Every structure is written in structure tokens, then in C-alpha cells.
Amino acid sequence: MDHLKQWFDEYTASFLTGVEDNDRNIRLKQEHTHRVCQESLFLADALNLDAKQRDLSEIAALLHDIGRFEQYRRFQTFADDRSVDHARLGHATLKKKGCLDRIAPADKDLIERVVLYHNRAFLPEEESEECLFHTRLLRDADKLDIWYVVTSYYAEMATKRNPTIELGLPDTPGISDKIHASLMNRTVVLKEHMQNLNDFKLLQIGWVFDLNFVPALRRLETRGYLDMIKKALPMDPRIDEIYENIADYMHERMR
């Protein structure tokens, strides 16, 4: 673990250029990674994983966004649809750099596949239970931290804007009908339906329907991220309706 953490720190530091507009986005992903490791360990413990599975969940978290660094260097964006699939790029990076060569081949293979699948809309059904389990755990840990990142950003957005976080979407009024419909149907919002920043905020609250584990739902509720996103949205009865639906959904699942 120490060796891998050191490799991560050195590899990602090589993307710092001394230009603040670049470096703040590199630091954003470095810090995100460290917090996702903590979220993964929280879930691993809440789910009573043994020591080996706990280690695997931490390694997957440490390496899950390794493709983000090369993605940003090449394209200056984190929008996969306008650049490259960062999970594929991360998978290729792990293979090329050989940073997992010190661990057992079966575990190396598992981590590489978890990294490859972590951002997929649909997980491959033919995969092993172990691989799907670790992918689901990582996805929950990842979402918990992305909620932290976006809510921290909304809190300071009035003074510090970062178009990279906003995916370059316009800050226009209103919400999309398709997004309202998918949230009322308790389904995850499709990226292609986003038209403005409000839609992006609604997409973020819709991740609740993609959470796999009850401890992640409890942590989401305790941290109050959904309420913080609501404060960053306009007053709108359709948004209230979505929030009531989500509150019901969370209580049903936690019960």
C-alpha cells in the first residue's frame, strides 16, 4: 500500500506545471482520490470485509481516477464525452506503468477491471461477483466524495468559478422535462439530457438511485449533501416534487 501511495503521489505530481489554472484541477483529483480511499475504507468496514478485501477496495480507490491526469493534460477537461473515456485511459495507464506488478496476478487483474468499469452506465453482467462487488463499492465511495466536491463548490461558487467543474454548461434558468421525468421515475439522469447547470445539479441528486449499499445512503443523509444541492437550485415546485420523491425513496431503502 505504501509503495502504491508513493507511486500515485509521484505520478500525479508530474502533472503539476506551476500554472494555477492547471494545478488546481490536478490537486482537485489528487485530493478527491485520497478522500475516495477513506470512503472506500468506511464502506469496507461497514460491510465487514476481511483484511484482504479491504486492501483491494483501498487500492481500487487509489487508482480509480488515474486516467484523469493524462486526460486533463491532453484535453484540459474532465468531460469524457468531449475528450476520452478516463476509465479506459486509466486502465491503459495501469498496464503501461506496471504499478501493480508487485501484487498477485489475480488481484492485479481484478483492480484493473474495477478501474475500467467504475464509470460505466451499465456494469458487465458476465463479470465475477467479486469484481462487481468491488466496482459497486468503489462507485458508492466515488459518489460520496463527488457530492462533497460539488457541494463545497456550490458554497463558494459566488466568488470562485471553475468552468471545469461546471463541465462548461450554461447557468440559465429552468430544468429539463426529461430530467424531471427520469428523477420522478427514480432512474439515474442521462448526461445527454443536460442542458444547463440546474440539470447538472439534478443529475447529481439522481445518483442516489445508483447507490448500492445502505451505509452509503446513511452517510449521504448524515452529511446532508442533497439539501446543500437544493440550496444551490432555484425555487421551483417541480424541484420540490423531486426532493419529496427522493426522500421517500431513501427512507424505503434504509428501512
Site residues (vs Fe ion, CB under 5 A): 65, 119
User: Toward Fe ion, which CB reaches closer, 36 or 49?
Assistant: 36
We find the least distance from the C-beta atom of residue 192 to Fe ion, in angstroms, to be 19
User: Toward Fe ion, which CB reaches closer, 88 or 178?
Assistant: 88
Residue length, the chain? 255
We find the least distance from the C-beta atom of residue 142 to Fe ion, in angstroms, to be 6
User: Toward Fe ion, which CB reaches closer, 119 or 176?
Assistant: 119
User: Toward Fe ion, which CB reaches closer, 67 or 242?
Assistant: 67
User: Toward Fe ion, which CB reaches closer, 44 or 61?
Assistant: 61
We find the least distance from the C-beta atom of residue 35 to Fe ion, in angstroms, to be 13
We find the least distance from the C-beta atom of residue 68 to Fe ion, in angstroms, to be 7
We find the least distance from the C-beta atom of residue 25 to Fe ion, in angstroms, to be 14
Q: What sign has the CA pseudo-torsion 49, 52, 55, 60?
A: negative
Q: Which residue is nearest to Fe ion (CB)?
A: 65
Q: Do 118 and 100 contact (CB within 8 A), yes or no?
A: no
Q: Do 104 and 80 contact (CB within 8 A), yes or no?
A: no
User: Toward Fe ion, which CB reaches closer, 27 or 178?
Assistant: 27
- How far is it, in rounded angstroms, from Cα 174 to Cα 242? 14
Q: What sign has the CA pseudo-torsion 252, 180, 140, 113?
A: positive
Q: Do 200 and 194 contact (CB within 8 A), yes or no?
A: yes
We find the least distance from the C-beta atom of residue 111 to Fe ion, in angstroms, to be 14
Burial of 218 (0-12, 13-18, 19+ CB in 10 A): middle
> How would you label 120-137 residue by residue, b for 16+ Cβ within 10 Å and e otherwise?
eeeeeeeeeeebbbbbbb
We find the least distance from the C-beta atom of residue 141 to Fe ion, in angstroms, to be 11
User: Toward Fe ion, which CB reaches closer, 119 or 195?
Assistant: 119
Angle among Cα 212, 216, 219 to the nearest 5 degrees reads: 160
Q: Do 229 and 151 contact (CB within 8 A), yes or no?
A: yes
